[in-house]
Amino acid sequence: MTTPAVVTGVKFYKASTNTGTHVGKLWTTAGKLLASGTFTGESSSGWQTLTFANSVPIAPNTTYIVSYYTPTGHYSYDGAYFATHGAGGGIVQQLQSGVSGANGVYRYGTGGGFPNTSWNDTNYWVDAVVETGAGTTTPPTVTGTTPASNGTGVALNAPVTATFDHDIDPDTIQFTLTAGGSTVSSGVTYDDTTRKATLQPNSSLTANTTYTASVRATDVWGNAMASAYTWTFTTGTSVVCPCSVWSSSATPDVANAGEANSLELGMRFTSSVDGFVSGVRFYKGDQNTGTHTGTLWSNSGTQLATGTFTNETASGWQTLQFAQPVAITANTQYVVSYHTNVGFYSYSSAYFTQARVSDPLTAVADSGSGHNGLFTQSAGTAFPTSSWNANNYWVDVVFTTTG
């Protein structure tokens, strides 16, 4: 791309023998999935077109990868096509191999995945559908914040958010919170659906204190804010719940693991205050079908509460409310888990090498004396005791300060 634009879909050339359900995807060169959809209304052969549910902004002079998955093979191709030249001209260009890595990329395997292998610079006749009218040369602006500017009585565990008027590049966010000249240790996430950046302090804010928030970012087309947007607010004295470790905008690095097994997956946590666990949450990829149960355990494996998830969505965060909340004690470790009977769980590797704090809750760090990122293979609900690589399987707790 040489100008700001959006990708609205995927095209591929289909042979009459290339049957089955086809899925089109858009990726960054690092393997991050930006959009996906299933082709419908296909003809028996020739060019097929998929339109994404939501268009994806793309930056100028940046390389992306577009792909499609075929369950039967019989793909169309031209060998050595990208060896000596690219394709297209002007706004959209398919690159000659070597300009920005290999071109003509593929991946073998059921279900597909990020195509990162190339052979003979082959063109598999996959294309992107691009529109330029939605691009902009105007830097992003902040349209709303929480807490509000000059707000008072703010909860000590309140997240700090900034919403932008158009899509930003999350890798460019500079978001800080300070008080009395000191910067608050925090984590920052971004939800590209709501265009909201969230700063979550790693511990409770100090009561009756004035804080200054500052945020600056560059949009997906490379337009940078000229200066940071700043605002102030003052805390009160209380913590507000229901609370969880992760917000609903948090997402895993891998939505669907390639493992098809019946598993219990869990997270070890503590609370800094006495309270009640009212339920369980977990992040679900679209391949993680079947029946799911959620369970709260003591740190030694005593089952404290369990239940079955109902009214699940196809993917995203799912929530189970226990029939009765369970009282838990401050600064005591507990385990929360869910069971999948099909596998394809979501995960992020090496996530618990450090503790993850969303006051009053802490997902404890993985260590020799107490692992986190827990699992066990089991046909039904079971206490998870194994761990590997400090992985986060995106299981969470719903905590309240009153029963």
For the residues of 259-305, what is the DSSP string, one character each?
----EEEEEEEEESS-EEEEEEEEEE-TT--S-EEEEEEETTS-EEE
Angle subtended at Cα 172 by Cα 168 and Cα 175, rounded to the nearest 5 degrees: 95
Q: Encode pLDDT of 179-209 as tens digits.
A: 999 999 888 989 888 999 999 887 789 999 9
Identify the residue with better confidence: 159 or 119.
119
Considering the entire predicted model, what is its pTM? Answer: 0.61
What is the pLDDT at residue 79? 93
Cβ(115)–Cβ(107) below 8 Å: yes
Cβ(293)–Cβ(339) below 8 Å: yes
Q: Encode pLDDT of 271-320 as tens digits.
A: 999 999 999 999 999 999 999 999 999 999 999 999 999 999 999 999 99
Reference 381, options 324, 329, 307, 326; nearest CA is: 307
% of the chain with per-residue pLDDT over 90? 75
Cα distance between residue 112 and residue 67, in whole Å: 10
% of the chain with per-residue pLDDT over 70? 97
Angle subtended at Cα 47 by Cα 43 and Cα 52, rounded to the nearest 5 degrees: 90
Helix/strand/coil for 204: coil
Statement: residue 321 has pLDDT above 70: yes
What is the pLDDT at residue 88? 66
Statement: residue 10 has pLDDT above 70: yes
For the residues of 80-97, what is the DSSP string, one character each?
TTTTT--EEETTEEEPPT
What is the pLDDT at residue 195? 93
- Within its chain, how far is the Cα of 37 from the centroid? 17
Reference 327, options 282, 266, 277; nearest CA is: 277
Q: Encode pLDDT of 232-242 as tens digits.
A: 999 998 888 99
Domains delineated in the chain:
5-131 (no CATH), 142-235 (2.60.40.1220), 263-400 (2.60.120.820)
Tokens 């994806």 belong to: 56
What is the pLDDT at residue 2? 58
What is the pLDDT at residue 3? 72
Q: What would the mean pLDDT of 93-115 be, rounded to a whole number?
A: 85
- Per-residue pLDDT band for 357 (boundaries 50, 70, 90) equals confident
